[in-house]
Amino acid sequence: MKSYNIILAGVGGQGLVLTTKLICEAAFAYGYDVKSNDVIGLSQRGGKVWGSVKMSEKVFSPNIPAGEADILLALEALEGDRWSTYIKKDGLIIMNTAKIPPAHVMAEVEEYPQDIEERLAESFNIETMDASSEGKVLGSDKIANTFLVGMMAKHMEIPNEIWEEAIKNNVPSKYLYMNLRAFEIGYGRYAVNHTCD
């Protein structure tokens, strides 16, 4: 049973709590011992938020030191950039390329970096998708994170049927079909696929 250290990073209002719960439930159902940090940060809409999930045969703490995360699930590009120091050299970043500019960018104090994806691809394996736009195509940008979970699931041992059951248990019925479809799309294809040598 392979262990995984996962960091989730985004901004308030993106559904990080639900995404963390979905990952934990799928891992537990597969037989992992699972520990997760509560979402930390400015959880009001637009504030920076992050959390962590550790899964293994036995886990004693949810804390993941810098440089020891296997996967970074970045719900927003700039937050993915901020948290990249937590990823192992051969780690994987799954990133939503949709941009939600923070307050200092909105106030024109700083510019939003335009080269995030390219810089991260120099040091890490990175797979990206404009999951927010893809969600709108299916009917709602609220399902953006499920694309990313599907992209991540392809790299893990947990079978699809367990992920799908976790989605069914945690998603409102009116969004269920869209979420299951988003998971399938994320699992089956990527908008961009960079692999480090």
pLDDT per position as a tens digit, 62-100: 999 999 999 999 999 988 999 999 999 889 999 999 887
Report, in this order, helix, strand and coil percent for the chain, each rounded to 5: 40, 25, 35
Q: CA–CA separation, 142 vs 136, rounded Å?
A: 8
Q: Is there a contact between 61 and 35 (Cβ–Cβ < 8 Å)?
A: yes
Amino acid at 135: G
Q: What's the pLDDT score for residue 102?
A: 60
Is there a domain that residue 197 lies in? no
Name the residue range of residue 180's domain.
4-192
pLDDT-based confidence at 196, cuts 50/70/90?
very low
Render 136-195 in DSSP notation, one character per residue.
HHHT-GGGHHHHHHHHHHTTSSS-HHHHHHHHHHHS-HHHHHHHHHHHHHHHH--SEEE-
Q: Tell me, what CATH number does 55's domain have?
A: 3.40.920.10
Count: domains in the chain: 1
CB of 83 closer than 8 Å to CB of 74: yes
In this structure, is residue 183 part of a structural domain? yes
How many percent of the chain have pLDDT more than 70? 86
* Model pLDDT for residues 14-26, shown as the tens digit of each residue: 888 999 999 999 9
> What is the band of 105 on the pLDDT scale with cuts at 50, 70, 90?
low
Lowest mean pLDDT among 6-15, 27-36, 165-174: 6-15
